Amino acid sequence: MTLTEAPPKVPARQPVRPPKKRLRHALTVAVFLLPSAVPLLLFTLIPMAGSLWTSLHEWDLITPMKWVGLDNYAGLLAGEETRAAFGHTLYFIAGYLPLVYAGGLGLAMLLNRAMKGRDIFRAIYFLPVVTSWVVVALLWKWLLNPASGIVNWAIGLVGLEGPGWWTDPDWAMPSIILASAWKDLGFVMIILLAGLQAIPKEYLEAARVDGANAWQRFRRVTLPLLSPSTFFVVVISLINGFQVFDQVHVMTGGGPAGATQVVVEQVYNLTFKYGRAGEASALSWLLFAVVLVVTLIQVRGQRRWVNYG
């Protein structure tokens, strides 16, 4: 299909250096890597090792740790709390992912065409992404306040009675999903917008000439060629979805009646409210394992549906 020839492959030049120069080269590389390697070591790798160590102990934060081997993991795997926490997390993802993807795609399509004030709209939709989660969560808590929020006021105008939102165990998770999708919409939009712009216009033009209608062009040309961006969005959103915490902690604190008790909220409560830091660390590692497996499955599965043009 492509008209331009790929540039001839030139073997990379391997400069042959004397040992002294090689050492200098290695040192230079090390110096440049240091600024990112040191924080990574200090704030990610060492704490991770510490958390693995903690997960093999019983620890209430006050008394010395007690070695329990794999008991924490066994207890969690058998426990009903763990199942409930993963269940709530999956509920969140099931609502959040389709909503944020469909919304982001819609926005990206809208803002991909020539229109007045396009850049301003793009910036506006991106604003929530760079806003602190605490601010956004408080804002939504306020908007969705069952007694005095603007959403229920608007629902009241058409003669209906709004739900209890985050005060109602059945509506609390939908409230959090709504706030989360709203905040992350701009991020998904930007990624998909970049993907849309990389689709050569000629393809769509050719499809049009062949008699494909708008839906067929979207379904058969745009979506398949957008699949690398979609793949990226799905991987990132799934990881973020499994780690959902800030909005839950601020909006409901896992309540009401435990209806939004997601995994990371559970980790927080176990550590800081209940003094069960060992089990909390073990739960973090279980979450890590789940995210790793899910991501690996996606990476393997992508060959089936991701099209790199």
Nearer to other proteins (CB atom), residue 229 or residue 252: 252
Nearer to other proteins (CB atom), residue 125 or residue 166: 166
Applying CB under 8 A, which part among 9-17, 168-176, 211-219, 292-300 lies near other proteins?
A: 168-176
Residue 278 as a binder of other proteins (CB under 8 A): the answer is no
Identified binder of other proteins from the candidate list 37, 219, 273, 301, rule CB under 8 A: 273
The amino acid at 260: T
Nearer to other proteins (CB atom), residue 228 or residue 275: 275
Identified binder of other proteins from the candidate list 75, 224, 228, 275, rule CB under 8 A: 275
Q: E strands, the chain, where?
A: 57-58, 66-67
Residue 249 as a binder of other proteins (CB under 8 A): the answer is no
Identified binder of other proteins from the candidate list 109, 133, 167, 246, rule CB under 8 A: 167
Enumerate residues 48-87 that contact other proteins by CB under 8 A.
Answer: 60-63
Contact 252, 265 (CB under 8 A): no
Residue 146 as a binder of other proteins (CB under 8 A): the answer is yes
Radius of gyration of the chain (CA): 25
Contact 90, 303 (CB under 8 A): no
Report the SS3 class of residue 111: coil
Task: List the one residue out of 277, 290, 291, 293 whose CA is nearest residue 56.
Answer: 277
Instruction: Write out 19-57 in H/E/C secondary structure.
Output: HHHHHHHHHHHHHHHHHHHHHHHHHHHHHHHHHHHHCCE
Residue 153 as a binder of other proteins (CB under 8 A): the answer is no
Q: How many whole angstroms separate alpha carbon 194 and alpha carbon 4?
A: 22
Applying CB under 8 A, which part among 108-116, 164-172, 221-229, 236-244 lies near other proteins?
A: 164-172
Enumerate residues 170-199 that contact other proteins by CB under 8 A.
Answer: 170
Contact 242, 93 (CB under 8 A): yes
Applying CB under 8 A, which part among 70-78, 145-153, 233-241, 297-305 lies near other proteins?
A: 145-153
For other proteins, the binding residues (CB under 8 A) are 60-63, 141, 145-149, 164-170, 255-258, 272-275
